[in-house]
Amino acid sequence: MRKIDKSILAKVIKPRDPISYKGNYGRILIIAGSIHFGGAAILSSSAAVYSGAGLVTVATTPEKFASLNTRIPEAMTIDYHDQKETLNSIKQSNVIVIGPGLGISELTQSLIKSVIENTTKNQTIIFDASALTEVSEENIDITSISANVILTPHQGEWQRLSELEIPDQTTDNNLEAINKLAPSSLLIVKKHLSEIYYHDNVSQIKAGNAGMATGGMGDTLTGVIAAFVGQFGFSEETVAAALFLHSYISDSIYEKSFVVLPEKLISEIPLAMKSIIIK
């Protein structure tokens, strides 16, 4: 199993061209949040903005517009009940995150199907949280999606998708399961020392700590990955760098703090990314 260490960061995080504009750094759509899970949409979108995404739009329930605009004014908001507006945003985005805080509902199922049917090979979809649960519970076919696909289940969500009990989630079993479920996708099994499965390659990050075992940490990861793909393009390296940075910053916080709060992690992303390119 290949190990992912700090060297991945300098391979991916590059200085910006002075002659550039926000369109160069990715249009991200985050389809997230619901009446009981407003924070997931805030954390995912904040993480995307703070990780350098050019433009971030959150498709969520209008009850959450005020809190979102207050917490992360850089992100724009659209109503995911408005099919026309949501479809328009799906088609215009480079990266689409779907799932954090969405909840289990017919709406979630229809949003998933709309994303699958209206994206092309030049786009990337990140399935997380409730979207993963719906894919498994509704047997939604994700084997032949045109867009790049990234799945970010924790071990419980992976159990639902793969039908592998957690103790049986070995490298070989995971590889077999992902090749059956979505052969060309990139799978991250989130846990202590998370693993990446992509085209039969298996790698493991050498960072992460138990202070990360707090609600919202996975929602946050989706925003970091989305921003990295939006800026640096879809590749196993880009995703590995995002996954590593998320745990690397958490490790530095964990040195002095009993718990790693997702918001604290997010606040430290810009300085951590800058430190990688300062020689």
Ligand X SMILES: NC(=O)C1=CN([C@@H]2O[C@H](COP(=O)(O)OP(=O)(O)OC[C@H]3O[C@@H](n4cnc5c(N)ncnc54)[C@H](O)[C@@H]3O)[C@@H](O)[C@H]2O)[C@@H](O)CC1
User: According to the annotation, is 114 in a ligand binding site?
Assistant: no
Query: Which of the ranges 54-62, 78-86, 143-151, 212-220 carries the binding residues for ligand X, by CB under 6 A?
Result: 212-220
Residues contacting ligand X: total by CB under 6 A: 19
Min dist CB 20 to ligand X, Å, is 32
Q: Please, which residue, 215 or 270, has the CB nearer to ligand X?
A: 215
Within residues 66-125, the interface with ligand X by CB under 6 A covers: 100-102
- Please provide the DSSP assignment of the chain as one string: -EEE-THHHHHH--PPPSS--GGGG-EEEEE---TT-HHHHHHHHHHHHHTT-SEEEEEE-GGGHHHHHHH-TTSEEEETT-HHHHHHHHHH-SEEEE-TT--SSHHHHHHHHHHHHT--TT-EEEE-HHHHHHHHHTT---TT-SSEEEE--BHHHHHHHH---GGG--HHHHHHHHHHH-TTSEEEEBSTT-EEEETTEEEEES---GGG-STTHHHHHHHHHHHHHHHH-S-HHHHHHHHHHHHHHHHHHHTT-SS--HHHHHHHHHHHHHHHH--
Which residue in 8, 42, 147, 217 binds ligand ADP (CB under 6 A)? 217
Binding mask 108-147 toward ligand ADP (x if CB under 6 A, else -) reads ---------------------x------------------
194 carries a ligand binding annotation: yes
Contact with ligand ADP (CB under 6 A) among 218, 225, 232, 239: 218
Q: Report the interface residues with ligand X, using CB under 6 A.
A: 37-40, 100-102, 129-130, 133, 154-157, 166, 215-216, 218-219
From the annotation, which residues make up the binding site for AMP?
A: 190-194, 218
